[in-house]
Amino acid sequence: MVCRDGWTLRVWRRQRMRRWEGLADRYLEAYAARGVTAATVDHARRELERWGAWLKRRRPRPKLETVGTDLHVRYIQGRTVFRSKATVRGVMTVMRGMGEFLAREGVWPSNPLRWMEGPKVDGRSRVPRRISAEAMKRLSLRK
């Protein structure tokens, strides 16, 4: 399909979503400059790519300035089905950080994710992945 000015619809859509990608790249550069590990930056990049792709698939496609809390909640609900609390917390942390960046850049008037609470994660409830030989001996001696 060709628009009046000769641009194809596909090129127009690509131009429209470059703004998201450019903002995400700038956020990740600032995030990496804080001194976080490369693995953490890669995790945030993947999550922002998922979030951007999800936004691009919405019909009608929302403008970045008008993305509201309802879309954030729908994304989090869809993204975190059958996931652990720690995964949900990680998704919300990346989204909250990007939201703060968008608010600083003036894209959003305020960050709608700032006051959304994630699930409580209790570090004591984690099961160790491997039991040491000493712990196995102590368990066997308890009989």
What is the CATH number for 36?
1.10.150.130
Is residue 110 situated within a structural domain? Answer: yes
Domain that holds residue 121: 9-141
pLDDT exceeds 70 at position 2: no
What number is the average pLDDT over the span 95-111? 94
Model-level pTM? 0.72
Asked if residue 119 lies in contact with residue 89, where contact means CB atoms within 8 angstroms, the answer is: yes
- In this structure, is residue 99 part of a structural domain? yes
4 within domain boundaries: no
Question: What's the domain count of the chain?
Answer: 1
123/60: higher pLDDT: 60
Please give the structure tokens belonging to residue 19.
């703004």
Please check the confidence at residue 5 and state whether its pLDDT lies above 70.
no
Mean pLDDT of the chain: 84
Report pLDDT for 12: 46
Asked if the structure places residue 3 within a domain, the reply is: no
